[in-house]
């Protein structure tokens, strides 16, 4: 016995079917795509906000900050796009082309990267 993945109705006939019909199949896929788009949007807006906070500091000529100040501005440390090793052995955590390096528990160095990223 098999049930439609969309509406849960018992499927009669072929046992390899996952849905009642095309309507249920389309509806199911639309819901999955919508959820995926919503997740992209949610995460992108956090990344955008993080990037904007770092960008604003750089534009104001500010190159250091503290975790407390960034948090107060709405920065979310759980979300970033990538991390790269610095020459000094530290790790720079990026939100797109802006990043921060943890100097110590209290201090962060903010940086902007203008060179393009290689994909490997
Ligand atoms: Zn169905």
Q: Tell me how far the alpha carbon of residue 38 lies from the centroid of ligand 1, in angstroms.
A: 24
Cα distances from 80 to residues 45, 57, 76, 99, in angstroms, run 11, 17, 9, 9
Spell out, as residue ranges, where the chain has pLDDT lower than 70: 115-120
Confirm whether 10 is domain-assigned.
no
DSSP of 11-49 = EPS-TT--SSSHHHHHHHHHHHHHHHHHHHHHHHHHHHH
Confirm whether 73 is domain-assigned.
yes
Q: Tell me, what's the pLDDT at 117? A: 58
What's the number of domains the chain is made of?
A: 1
Confirm whether 55 is domain-assigned.
yes
Q: Tell me which residue range forms the domain holding 34.
A: 22-112
Distance, in Å, from the CA atom of 4 to the CA atom of 32, rounded to the nearest integer, reads 15
Confirm whether 119 is domain-assigned.
no
Confirm whether 36 is domain-assigned.
yes
Task: List, as ranges, residues with CB under 5 A of the ion ligand 1.
Answer: 4, 6-7, 9, 20, 24
């Amino acid at each position: 016995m098999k049930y439609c993945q969309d509406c849960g109705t018992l499927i009669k006939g072929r046992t390899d079917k996952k849905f009642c019909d095309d309507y249920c199949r389309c509806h199911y896929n639309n819901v999955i795509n919508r959820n995926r788009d919503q997740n992209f949007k949610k995460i992108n807006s956090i990344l955008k906000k993080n990037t904007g906070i770092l960008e604003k500091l750089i534009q104001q000529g500010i190159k250091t900050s503290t975790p407390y100040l960034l948090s107060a501005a709405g920065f979310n440390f759980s979300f970033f796009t990538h991390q790269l090793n610095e020459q000094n052995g530290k790790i720079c955590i990026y939100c797109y082309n802006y990043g921060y390096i943890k100097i110590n528990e209290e201090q962060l160095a903010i940086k902007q990267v203008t060179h393009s990223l290689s994909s490997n």
